[in-house]
A and B are shown apart, each in its own frame.
Chain A
Amino acid sequence: MVAARDFLWVVRSGDGAVRPSGVSARDHALARGRLTDVVRLVARTVVHVVLGGSALVIVVTVAGLLGPALALDLYTPPVAAWWTVFTAVVVQGIPFLLLGALVSAAIGAFVPERVFTRLLPRSQALAVPVAGAAGVVLPGCECASVPVAGSLMRRGVAPAAALAFLLSAPAVNPVVLVATSLAFPGNPQMVVARFAASLGTAVAMGWLWARFGRSGWLRLPEAPSAGPGTSRTGSFMAGIQHDFLHAGGFLVLGSAAAATFNITVPRSLLDVFTVSVWVSVLLLAVLAVVLCVCSEADAFVAASLSQFGPVAQLAFMVVGPMVDLKLFALQAGTFGRSFAVRFSSATWVVAVVSSVLVGWWVL
């Protein structure tokens, strides 16, 4: 290794005049350098072992003596409830996340790019509503749509169209619409309003991105390729693993945030704000963000919030699948934080405006 490096140095030094004495001086310098390296390494190891070892002994002793008592003291009803809600959100999200990883890996490995260029209209203005309406085909909650949208972008779909799909897929698919009709029996206008307001928001956000979005905000997700020489199956497997593990970590983050809000925000606080229509719409739109109820269940939660009026309930169901803490964590992990902040806040505003408009028109 050293010889090769010296050889390179000699060759690179250029003029052809090889000076043996210079090389041997360099060898000396290298040997001295190596000695100091060894001494430094030994010293560092000793320090690490002594410090780390004693710290470990202290931690283990303290934890062993105080741990059981402390754990029992800390395991109060709120903490237990936090753990339950936290694991519940994660467990509920895992099948959908895996579905999303499967679909996105399949798109990445088996669907050639020309399929999308042929299916989607050339102009972005037309591609956005088509992609938004295509959200109907992915039956899942919002965890599934983030990896799929990332994989669509990697496959050359315009970000504006992929983002419209990202927003509409969890909100307008058949499972969610059926759940909504079950939660609001005898009130089919609610289903229509939800469909219209959600699709409207998704398309509006796609167009906004096409007009004002900067590619610098969006960190395009990297292809989790399994090396240049691997088969399609190999890259499919690598894609599932990468997408699931990556998004799974952010799902855990988002679930922790959701559980914290679920446990710390008292529900009775809601009753204070039922005064005006405007306040209740904004309040339920905020509640949808912090509660992170999955899009297949949020209709039932919305139905139980009947004291806020139908427009506010609609806003809850339109905002929930598009902006919430769990989704924010997933988006920040996949597309970068600077994207997630801008995109989520804009989506929240558009979703509220859209549900107010549709609500007054339909409900």
Chain B
Amino acid sequence: MRRYGPAVLLILVGAAVLRIALLSDLYLRYVQGGLRPYLVASGALLGLLGLVRAALTARAARYGTDAADHGGHLVAERHDHLHSHEGSPRVAWLLVLPAAALLLFPPPALGSYSAARDEARRAAESVGAFPALPAGDPVDLSVSQFGSRAVYDSEYSLRGRTVRLTGFVTPGDGDAWYVTRLRVACCAADATTSKVEIRGPDAPETDTWVTVTGTWRPRGELGFPSAWPPVLQATTVVRIAEPSDPYEER
């Protein structure tokens, strides 16, 4: 059985990658959307490699040759403790951990815990004119875009517009609460936080996903820390299910 180790590992990892990238949108909890084609291709290739390896091992077992295991023997007999005698490096079994996690209990998207740890930062921008807001009433904006325009737009394009933001709830001091969204450039390890303070309705439970409709309420001086975080005077707060793409793209 152990000689099938490499084949099993390759198929397991391939299946895990295909499960999150091809059969569902779960990959968006971990990496950016643009990586999908590469994930699907890698998953398929790994599965294929695993099947070929299994077929070769089965044939070698039937004909009594050891051809499929030669590589492992050559390596193992030299000096490497990390290699078993069956051609699969022993350290490779660690791959079972993430593969099983993805297949059985896909870890959740990052939420309020990570948002609280990472202090919301303003992107390094300077005050200037922004392109005109798209038409629509209310107009859908990402949390980070709303923040940029609120703090840096010298043309005040948010003035007089009704906007709709989507994010999860994080608590602030006292009664204050925020609609928060994490931004991911490559994978969840580089997530950064943007948030908008909500005035008006009471805070829903932490980590619930909501869409908030309302109008911008200016604060502080444009481009200075006093303008941060931006404020939205909310009229309606609607609970929604967690979107399949939980992060904002950069």
Residues of chain A having any CB pair with chain B under 8 Å: 77-78, 80-81, 83-92, 94-95, 98, 222-230, 237-238, 240-242, 244-246, 248-250, 252-253, 255, 258-259, 262-263, 266-268, 271, 291-294, 296-298, 300-301, 303-304, 306, 333
Contacts and interface: CB of A to CB of B under 8 A. Distances in A.
A91 B88 CA distance: 21
Contact of A224 (B42, B71, B78, B121): B71
Interface string B75-114: 1001010100001111111110110011000111111111
Given A237-B52, A248-B13, A297-B187, A333 B91 contact: yes
Given A238-B71, A266-B117, A267-B118, A297 B186 contact: yes
Contacts of A89: 187, 189
Contacts of A237: 49, 52-53
Nearest to B79: A219
A253 B124 contact: no
Contacts of B93: 249
Interface stretch (B23-31, B132-140, B166-174, B211-219): B23-31
B95 A87 contact: no
A228 B73 CA distance: 12
24 contacts: A77-B112, A81-B110, A84-B29, A84-B108, A87-B30, A88-B30, A88-B31, A88-B189, A90-B98, A91-B30, A91-B98, A91-B187, A92-B35, A94-B39, A244-B10, A246-B91, A246-B92, A248-B13, A250-B91, A252-B95, A292-B189, A293-B186, A301-B192, A304-B123
Contacts, number: 173
A12 B34 CA distance: 70
Interface of B: 6, 9-10, 13, 17, 20, 27, 29-31, 35, 38-39, 41-42, 45-46, 49, 52-53, 67-68, 70-71, 74-75, 78, 80, 82, 87-95, 97-98, 101-102, 106-114, 117-119, 121, 123-124, 185-190, 192, 250
Contact of B49 (A81, A241, A258): A241
A253 to B, nearest CB: 6
B185 A300 contact: yes
Contacts of A301: 185, 190, 192
Contacts of A241: 6, 10, 49, 53
A80 B45 CA distance: 30
A95 B38 contact: yes
Nearest to B106: A87
Contacts of A292: 189
A259 B189 contact: yes
Nearest to A293: B190
A306 B39 CA distance: 32
B194 to A, nearest CB: 10
A226 B73 CA distance: 10
B114 A81 contact: yes
